[in-house]
Amino acid sequence: MSAKFNRTLAVDIGNSRISCGLFLDDELSDTYNYATDEPKVAASHLRSLSSKFEGALISISSVVPSAGQALIDLWQPPKKNLFAVSAKNQNMLSGLYETIGSDRIANAAAAYRNYTADKKAAIVIDFGTATTLTAVSSDGSFLGGMITLGLSKIFYSLHRQTAQLPELSVIEWDNYASPLAFDTARAIERGCVIGHIGLVKYWVERAKENLPAQTAVIATGGLAPLIAPAADVFDAVDVTLTLKGIKILAEEAMDPRDQD
């Protein structure tokens, strides 16, 4: 069981954005988001936050090494209270491979801690720049996963790799009484969204064939509220799951007596 921390700042550096969560007494008090390619903005705000909450545990997950280093260099958080999520640094999960993304480690940790009390395993599907599946057992063993391009990047790539197709994005779900469109924009929208929903449903179906019967399925990531209800395979939608896992991993590995 992790030690008790009164204040933890969790930072998730992804391919598109930097998400931060301030936890006070185990409750997520505030969240903040910045563009990954603007680390100066993030560093300035985080510097003021860490100064205001002096002695707070700071836990960082980064899947963009250059952005992570730039943020640390600009921010200069106290090293004494700093934890970097990685397969090597954590002591909570077993069976992780060395190059697994730190965001997926965090997802597995949060799912293990929060969703396996009455289950044998949990699946997390994270809808971000990439769409990922990560599975973990109720004893904290990593059970494998899958990765593909995220829905927003599918739209972007379809536009960039063709001469005439427009770039689109979907911000709300339409049930599409008919999936058959009669113009190019709607054909792209319906093809990409319905295709992603079908992919997720098949992923879960195939994964469950190799997992215990009692397996929870959790959705997280920015597009989770859009895709999860339409896919109809999820037990929970938890958009802050990654931040929770970043916090949990640091608290499991660090001793609060080392805080300032």
Task: Identify the residue whose tokens are 């079908």.
Answer: 198
CATH class label, 116-243 = alpha beta
The sheet that has 7-13: what strands, in order across it?
A: 27-35, 17-24, 7-13, 57-62, 82-84
pLDDT at 182 over 50: yes
For 7-94+244-258, CATH number out of 3.40.640.10, 3.30.420.40, 3.30.365.10, 3.90.1150.10 equals: 3.30.420.40
Spatial separation of the C-alpha atoms in residues 175 and 225, rounded to whole Å: 14
Catalytic residues: 103
Residue 117 buriedness (CB in 10 A; 0-12 / 13-18 / 19+): exposed
pLDDT at 2 over 70: no
The token duo for 183 is: 């113009």
Task: Please report, for the chain, the start and end positions of each structural domain, with discontinuous segments joined by +.
Answer: 7-94+244-258, 116-243
Q: What is the pLDDT of residues 121-176, one digit of tens each?
A: 999 999 999 999 999 999 999 999 999 999 988 888 888 888 777 776 776 667 66
Spatial separation of the C-alpha atoms in residues 234 and 171, rounded to whole Å: 20
How high is the pLDDT of residue 20?
Answer: 95
Asked whether this chain's domains 7-94+244-258 and 116-243 adopt the same fold, the reply is: yes
Is residue 97 a contact partner of residue 90, using CB atoms and an 8 Å limit? no
Mean pLDDT of 204-227: 95
Where on the phi/psi map is residue 169: left (φ > 0), alpha (ψ -120 to 50), or beta?
beta
Mean pLDDT of 44-63: 89
How high is the pLDDT of residue 181?
Answer: 85
Spatial separation of the C-alpha atoms in residues 4 and 255, rounded to whole Å: 9
Is residue 15 a contact partner of residue 36, using CB atoms and an 8 Å limit? yes
Mean pLDDT (the chain) is 90
Spatial separation of the C-alpha atoms in residues 253 and 247, rounded to whole Å: 10
Is residue 10 a contact partner of residue 247, using CB atoms and an 8 Å limit? yes
pLDDT at 257 over 60: no
